[in-house]
Amino acid sequence: MQTGALLGLVFSVGLSGFASLSHRMFGQYNHNVYWSLKVWLIEISQDALGLAVAGAILGAWL
């Protein structure tokens, strides 16, 4: 169960986190990177929590 949660967390940060980081940093019209990084952290934490829970469920199921 813990292994599935850890894998879900690693994949969420590794895949979705770094893929969307460049869009958040360089896609701002006013170049306000600090605000966009706060929004990015909120989005990534939501993805990480969801995939960690899904990984824990799959780890417990298998």
Mean pLDDT of 6-22: 80
Q: What is the pLDDT of residue 34?
A: 67
Q: What is the pLDDT of residue 5?
A: 83
Q: What is the pLDDT of residue 28?
A: 66
pLDDT digits (tens, 9 = 90+) for 16-61: 777 777 777 776 666 666 666 787 888 888 888 888 898 899 888 8
Are the C-beta atoms of 4 and 57 separated by less than 8 Å?
yes
Backbone phi, psi, residue 28, to 5°: -85, 135
Give the C-alpha distances (Å, rounded to integers) separating 42 from 20, 48, 49, 50. Answer: 12, 10, 11, 13
Q: What is the pLDDT of residue 33?
A: 65
